[in-house]
A and B are shown apart, each in its own frame.
Chain A
Amino acid sequence: MGGPAGWVSIAFPAILFLYFLGLMPQVALAPVLGGIDWVPSLGIRLAVLLDGLSMTFALLITGIGLAVTLYSARYLGDHPDYPRFVCYLLMFMVGMLGLVLSDDLIMLFVFWEVTTISSYLLIGFNADSAKSRRSALQALLVTGTGGLAMLGGMIILGNVAGTFQLSQILTMGDEIRAHPWYMAILLLVLAGTFTKSAQVPFHFWLPNAMAAPTPVSAYLHSATMVKAGVFLMARMNPTLGGTDAWFWILTLFGGVTAVFASVMAMRQTDIKQVLAYTTLMALGTLTMFIGAGTHYAIMAAMTFLVVHSLYKAALFLMIGIVDHATGTREAGVLGGLSKAMPLTGLAAALAAISMAGIPPMVGFIGKEFMYKAGLGLEGFGAFWVTMMAFAASVLMFAVGGIVALKPFRGDLRPTPHAPHEGPWPMLAGPLVLGALSLIFGLVPGVLGHYLVGPATHAVFGEVRPVELYLWGGINMALILSLLTFLAGWLVYRRHEAIRARLAAIEARSRVDFDAGWDRLLDGFKAFAAWLTGLIQTGSLQRYMAVTFATFVVLVGGTYILKGAFQAGLSLSTDGVHPVQWAVLGLIATGAILTVWTHSRMTAVAAMGVVGIGVALIFIMFSAPDVAITQLLVEVLVVVLVSLAMLRLPYLPRRSKMVFRTGHAVIAGGMGLVTTFLTISVLASDFDRRLTTYFEATSYPEAFGRNIVNVILVDFRALDTFGEITVVAIAAIAAFALLRGAPPRRKHEEES
């Protein structure tokens, strides 16, 4: 069972699950708030908002988490990297819980990224496989890019609302919807949620993410993480929802995703891929109903959220067992497993019947409420939402048959391994989840009262009674349900022909999102290579010339445009001590010698003279610390540069006149601009507030009389910390550059 790591991984969600279960009755009455200040200067808090929505998610995360950790202790317990796997999985669990419990936008974003990163690590868990690595990176880039856009949206939202606290923002809906920045906020936030929840056209990463181990697919890429986007849309519904833009963007993208994904699910032969696409369908459906926004629609979405997590996690875990036992996941190969694997078959049947939406499973209730919600809308919206939900449900019915009926019924077919029943830790999860699908269907009141009701209140924004029931009398929704079964059965009967047809269409189709993504990335890389080649030629002379020329043009240009020369030219040379003139003469001589000489060594030494002259000036103006540092750095620079020079070829007698003139112009301009800059800085009034503060507080508060040092190690310690980190990293990077043989030479040695 994976040793200590396994037990930790099982105990963690188990304890949390019981904890949240204990809080459930309290949360069903009123949301729980709490938290501590995190970055008070930016108004960011580590705050918790536990209402019906977060409670539903928290229970799904810990409950399904428990099933998954128990399962993986057996599934991966013997894997040499299992402890690493547990670390990632628990990291994800913490991230996801933090995400759904956040009462602060910035905290939510941080945890959002934690889930993205842990998902990256888990998809790439089989790091030896190039396919997993590619899938992991793709998921990271797609969801990470969306996450960045979302951060932008959240910062704007926080500024518009004047607070980052979610529970306050949720009460400010009217204000924010009327704000001119509303559209920007909406689009940016939706960019994050659509990539995370894999809506078309950002869906392609999710089927690829199935490269992860099966328990990960069940947990992250079906039951929890991909629903983070759905969660955020639900969370934001009271603030951003209710507008036409919200309605149409969500219902259109969600509807298209749902139907597209259902069709794609029919096309797949690998059952895990089938399940991946049905997950997309569920995400699309949820998005669509959150967009629809009526009380019924939200209720349908929240019911379906629970329903889907229950059956989908069970199905994923089930296919993992089948894969483990038979060595294949191909729908065309599997058949007649029910004798060898009766319990697995039972779990699959329970989950699949719920997915197909057949009574008395809770899936039926979910589907009924979706139809009711769709029919309750107005105008074209009603037609669109109902049609999309109907089409998706028909295909789900058929898919339920493909994944759970076909592999288990009929005669036993030959598989790579002889099938055998899975061990109990792996069976426990899918069986319990399947049983819950049945129990919640029989006693829907519990689900409605404790989870769906409070969640609907949280998302809808006002309290209205919520009652879930299995039998609602003969109405339009029931008739649609019966039609669904009929159509679904017909599709299932002919699914192999349909699959062949779809495969043919796919082969002809020129639209391939996955390949398109690769082309996009290649384009970026080519652009980056082109730009780097343009800017970074590798010639140090060119870099210096470009840097200094830019400085001269920008700063000098600003000078001329602003007419700032007059201010600087009124300085007098009165009171300059003869010794200071001598030092200035020394500096000038050093500078001229540096330019004049043809020997590198002389140039370096002459530069040293300039630096030492500057150090002398610091001493004259009583800044001993700066002078000592300057002196030491000068000495070290001379040593280091002379050492480096030994490795360089001799200078040519004279470089081309054109270059020398050009360099002279740049150097002269640089000198002039810097001089004017210094003079005008000194001419203007100097803001002494900081100096006064440091002088006044250095000894009383920081117990130091050397203000320079006190600033370095106390007042501005964080800056110094950054600087020494740079020193250390720069040294190591230079070391690597100097010591590492260039790859080309290495290659030559080998050949």
Chain B
Amino acid sequence: MQSLILTTTTRLMAALLLMFSVYALLRGHNLPGGGFIGGLIGATAFILYTIATSVSEARAALRMDPSNLAMLGVGVAALGGMGAGFAGEPFFTGQWLFLFQDGDSYVPLSTVLVFDIGVYMAVFGGILTLVFALEQEI
């Protein structure tokens, strides 16, 4: 499909969507969002880009095979679950680290976030694998 308007707006929209997807991923623990939703939004950004340009350009922009990304995501999620092992707790028990604690404000880091990033990657990669395969056939 060749459309000047779509191609031009997509450049902006895809970037915004990707940014928003990371935002949704990170805020997910306290507000609507999370790895699953973030992954879906991120995939939408690339689907838009694919429709506006082509699969090969979208692939080039992604730099990594989406199926590898999906599998890597499963691995990252598993790694997040294993973090609990270092504390001697059962698999997938969340481990937390509160940095820069100052009164009520702090930067929370957790294995749960690692897990959610894995979910993001798996969903993102999984959907793009499908879309690229479908789009490329035509």
Q: Which residues of A contact B (CB under 8 A)?
A: 624-625, 628-629, 632-633, 635-636, 639-640, 643-644, 646-647, 702-706, 708-710, 712-714, 717-718, 720-721, 724-725, 727-728, 730-732, 734-735, 738-739
Inter-chain contact B78/A628, CB cutoff 8 Å: no
Closest-CB distance, A736 to chain B (whole angstroms)? 9
A47 to B30 CA separation, bound complex (whole angstroms)? 43
Residues on B with C-beta less than 8 A from A625 are 32-34, 37
Closest-CB distance, B32 to chain A (whole angstroms)? 4
- Contact residues, B75-94 vs A (CB, 8 A): 77-78, 81, 91-92, 94
Inter-chain contact A706/B28, CB cutoff 8 Å: yes
Residues on B with C-beta less than 8 A from A724 are 73-74, 77, 118-119, 122-123, 126
Inter-chain contact B77/A738, CB cutoff 8 Å: no
Closest-CB distance, A516 to chain B (whole angstroms)? 43
Inter-chain contact A727/B70, CB cutoff 8 Å: yes
23 A-B pairs within 8 Å (CB atoms) are namely A624-B32, A629-B37, A632-B37, A632-B40, A636-B44, A643-B131, A703-B96, A705-B30, A705-B31, A706-B31, A712-B116, A713-B94, A714-B94, A717-B81, A717-B112, A720-B77, A721-B115, A728-B74, A731-B125, A731-B126, A732-B71, A732-B129, A734-B130
Q: Out of B32, B119, B135, name the residue touching A706 (CB < 8 Å).
A: B32
Q: Out of B77, B78, B110, B138, name the residue touching A703 (CB < 8 Å).
A: B110
- B7 an interface residue at 8 Å Cβ cutoff? no
Residues on A with C-beta less than 8 A from B91 are 718
Known contacts A632-B44, A647-B138; A639 and B34 CB within 8 A of each other: no
With both beta carbons as reference points, the residue of chain B lying nearest to A628 in the complex is identified as B37
Closest-CB distance, A687 to chain B (whole angstroms)? 25
With both beta carbons as reference points, the residue of chain B lying nearest to A710 in the complex is identified as B29
A624 to B24 CA separation, bound complex (whole angstroms)? 12
Residues on A with C-beta less than 8 A from B37 are 625, 628-629, 632
- Contact residues, B25-73 vs A (CB, 8 A): 28-37, 40-41, 43-44, 47, 66-67, 70-71, 73
Closest-CB distance, A593 to chain B (whole angstroms)? 24
Known contacts A717-B115, A728-B71; A636 and B127 CB within 8 A of each other: yes
Inter-chain contact A738/B29, CB cutoff 8 Å: no
- B134 an interface residue at 8 Å Cβ cutoff? yes
Residues on A with C-beta less than 8 A from B135 are 643
Known contacts A632-B41, A731-B125; A713 and B74 CB within 8 A of each other: no
With both beta carbons as reference points, the residue of chain A lying nearest to B67 in the complex is identified as A732
Residues on A with C-beta less than 8 A from B129 are 731-732, 734-735
Known contacts A643-B135, A724-B73, A731-B70; A709 and B33 CB within 8 A of each other: yes
Known contacts A636-B127, A706-B31, A731-B129; A629 and B40 CB within 8 A of each other: yes
Known contacts A636-B43, A703-B108, A709-B34; A728 and B122 CB within 8 A of each other: yes
Closest-CB distance, B115 to chain A (whole angstroms)? 5
Q: Out of A633, A643, A702, A721, name the residue touching B134 (CB < 8 Å).
A: A643
A710 to B33 CA separation, bound complex (whole angstroms)? 11
Inter-chain contact B138/A643, CB cutoff 8 Å: yes
Q: Out of B29, B67, B78, B96, name the residue touching A735 (CB < 8 Å).
A: B67
With both beta carbons as reference points, the residue of chain A lying nearest to B127 in the complex is identified as A636
A639 to B48 CA separation, bound complex (whole angstroms)? 10
A568 to B52 CA separation, bound complex (whole angstroms)? 50
Inter-chain contact B40/A721, CB cutoff 8 Å: no
Known contacts A703-B96, A703-B108, A721-B92; A640 and B130 CB within 8 A of each other: yes
Known contacts A632-B44, A640-B131; A720 and B119 CB within 8 A of each other: yes
With both beta carbons as reference points, the residue of chain B lying nearest to A720 in the complex is identified as B119
A725 to B136 CA separation, bound complex (whole angstroms)? 24
A739 to B131 CA separation, bound complex (whole angstroms)? 12
Q: Out of A635, A713, A727, name the residue touching B44 (CB < 8 Å).
A: A635
